[in-house]
């Protein structure tokens, strides 16, 4: 079975541009998580969904960030407008169970560089 699929793997963009990161979770998984990884802050949970519904977005840095999950097999994380401090690796993860009890399966990450 395919794992969690993220795209793009790498994105370089200029400040002010819109960035959209995509994620396809593992089929049958009910929970989806977006994490951001930086050297300074480590792995930060941005938002998570259960059965396509956003449950907690308290980790989303500010209004420039938004996430959607229109169906069980697709999610997007959008940054508009992007800023250099958004440069990070963004991971999507899915879980069969609700996150607190289940193993998270991570994608390979999307490395974002904002110039």
Partner 1 sequence: AQKVTQAQTEISVVEKEDVTLDCVYETRDTTYYLFWYKQPPSGELVFLIRRNSFDEQNEISGRYSWNFQKSTSSFNFTITASQVVDSAVYFCALSEVGDDKIIFGKGTRLHILP
How many residues contact partner 1, by CB under 8 A?
25
The answer to whether residue 104 forms part of the interface with partner 1 (CB under 8 A) is yes
Q: How far is the CB of 81 from partner 1 (least distance, A)?
A: 26
The answer to whether residue 48 forms part of the interface with partner 1 (CB under 8 A) is yes
Q: How far is CA 113 from CA 25, 32, 61, in A?
A: 24, 24, 17
* 94 CB-near residues (< 8 Å, 6+ apart): 4, 25, 26, 29, 31, 32, 33, 104, 105
CB of 42 or CB of 70, closer to partner 1? 42
The answer to whether residue 50 forms part of the interface with partner 1 (CB under 8 A) is yes
Strand pairing report for 110-114 and 10-13 = parallel
Contact positions vs partner 1 (CB under 8 A) = 31, 33, 35, 41-43, 45, 48, 50, 55-56, 89, 91, 93, 98-101, 103-109
């Amino acid at each position: 079975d395919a794992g969690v699929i993220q795209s793009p793997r790498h994105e370089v963009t200029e400040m002010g541009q819109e960035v959209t990161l995509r994620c396809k979770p593992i089929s049958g998984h009910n929970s989806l998580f977006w994490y951001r990884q930086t050297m300074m802050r480590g792995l930060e949970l941005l938002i998570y969904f259960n059965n396509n519904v956003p449950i907690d977005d308290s980790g989303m840095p500010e209004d420039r960030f938004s996430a959607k999950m229109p169906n069980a097999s697709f999610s997007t994380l959008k940054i508009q407008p992007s800023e250099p401090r958004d440069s990070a690796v963004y991971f999507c993860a899915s879980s069969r169970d609700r996150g607190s009890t289940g193993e998270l399966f991570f994608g390979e990450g999307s490395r974002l560089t904002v110039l």
